[in-house]
């Protein structure tokens, strides 16, 4: 088991090392709130994994003390906590995908900087037949049928459509477009400093045109966002795969009578699970707080 764990140490520390090297070598790296990462959710997931580490240790102790029922209960609790971790992770992934943050095209809609390529990508999206129809429909909708927020957003969208079509657009205009499509939230707007209200001020998570009109799905600008997405999904993805393997092992173990005879198996499963916890202990600050 320890031989296996040492190969896992190499695997993950190579990934983590590459992440650190890539991150500090990058000219610009997005802040956590630029990429819709929520620190409280990450901290909660850390807490969940720590709890599951304790429950698996308690399962081992109970099995050694020949209390099979108690061991099974702890094991079940570990399984549930691991599933909860995965559920929270899936929710977080969903939040990224909803903002077009994917590691790669065609799903990825991240542009590195508000340059002419970005402008032409926005223009191309606005020129798609389905979007043209939708825009026409939006323009013809009476203001009474829309919320005041949507009316204001419609006005901004109309100006943006003129801006990207204009032959005299400047870099600053494109930055304005990018800011309207998906603003880079400031720390205050992202609900940092312990606050929870987000989206109230400018730059909040839900004030972008993409959020107000979800069908729009315009390209967005996150400087450094592509490299961030690649490393984030690779690291958390491999970690999630390890969590899934752990859950499968726990499910198999739940089929046994967890007495002293199975203590060796539980110990090995536990060692593996502690390692998964260990990796997250480093992933959480590196990804969420740096």
Answer yes or no: are the C-beta atoms of 63 and 259 closer than 8 Å.
Answer: yes
Q: How many residues bind other proteins (CB under 8 A)?
A: 81
Return phi, psi of residue 110, to 5°: -95, 130
Q: Which is nearer to other proteins, 58 or 243 (CB)?
A: 58
Q: Does 155 bind other proteins (CB under 8 A)?
A: yes
Q: Does 210 bind other proteins (CB under 8 A)?
A: no
Interaction residues for other proteins, span 89-118 (CB under 8 A): 112-115, 117
Q: Which is nearer to other proteins, 117 or 133 (CB)?
A: 117
In angstroms, what is the minimal distance from the CB of 37 to other proteins?
Answer: 11
Torsion of CA 222, 228, 229, 232, to 10 degrees: -150
Q: Does 253 bind other proteins (CB under 8 A)?
A: no
Beta pairing partners, 161: none
* Piece of 92-100, 229-237, 249-257, 282-290 that binds other proteins (CB under 8 A): 282-290
The full DSSP string for 131-173 is HHHHHHHHHHS-GGGS-HHHHHHHHHHHHHHHHHH-TT--HHH
Beta pairing partners, 220: 110
Q: Does 161 bind other proteins (CB under 8 A)?
A: no
Burial-class residue 7 by CB neighbours within 10 Å (0-12, 13-18, 19+).
exposed
Binding other proteins by CB under 8 A: which of 96, 125, 156, 161?
A: 156
Q: Does 5 bind other proteins (CB under 8 A)?
A: yes
In angstroms, what is the minimal distance from the CB of 39 to other proteins?
Answer: 5
Return phi, psi of residue 206, to 5°: -115, 15
Interaction residues for other proteins, span 8-67 (CB under 8 A): 9-10, 13-14, 16-18, 20-22, 24-28, 39, 43, 46-47, 50-51, 53-54, 57-58, 61, 64-66
Q: Does 152 bind other proteins (CB under 8 A)?
A: yes
Q: Does 138 bind other proteins (CB under 8 A)?
A: no
Which letter does DSSP use for residue 189 in this model? T
Structure tokens at 71: 């061991």
In angstroms, what is the minimal distance from the CB of 129 to other proteins?
Answer: 26
Q: Does 183 bind other proteins (CB under 8 A)?
A: yes
Query: Which residues lie below 8 Å from residue 86, measured CB to CB, with a gap of 6+?
Result: 240, 243, 244, 247
């Amino acid at each position: 088991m320890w031989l296996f764990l040492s190969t896992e140490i190499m695997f993950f520390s190579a990934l983590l090392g590459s992440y650190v090297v890539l991150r500090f070598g990058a000219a610009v790296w997005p802040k956590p709130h630029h990429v819709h990462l929520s620190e409280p959710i990450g901290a909660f997931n850390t807490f969940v994994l720590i709890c599951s580490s304790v429950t698996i240790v308690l399962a081992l102790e109970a099995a050694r003390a020949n209390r099979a029922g108690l061991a099974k209960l702890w094991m079940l609790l570990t399984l549930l906590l691991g599933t909860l971790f995965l559920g929270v992770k899936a929710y977080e992934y969903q939040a990224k995908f909803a903002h077009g943050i994917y590691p790669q095209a065609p799903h990825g809609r991240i542009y590195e900087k508000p340059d002419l390529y970005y402008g032409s990508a926005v223009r191309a999206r606005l020129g798609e037949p389905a979007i043209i129809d939708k825009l026409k429909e939006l323009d013809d909708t009476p203001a009474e049928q829309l919320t005041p927020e949507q009316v204001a957003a419609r006005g901004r969208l109309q100006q943006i459509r003129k801006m990207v079509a204009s032959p005299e657009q400047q870099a600053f205009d494109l930055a304005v477009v990018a800011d309207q499509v998906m603003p880079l939230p400031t720390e205050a707007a992202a609900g940092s400093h312990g606050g929870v209200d987000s989206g109230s001020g400018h730059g909040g998570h839900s004030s972008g045109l993409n959020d107000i009109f979800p069908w729009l799905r315009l390209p967005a600008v996150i400087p450094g966002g592509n490299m961030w997405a690649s490393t984030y999904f690779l690291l958390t993805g491999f970690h999630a795969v390890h969590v899934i393997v752990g859950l499968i092992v726990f499910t198999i173990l739940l089929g046994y009578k967890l007495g002293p005879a199975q203590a060796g198996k539980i110990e090995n499963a536990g060692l593996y699970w502690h390692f998964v916890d260990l990796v997250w202990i480093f992933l959480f600050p590196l990804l969420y707080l740096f």
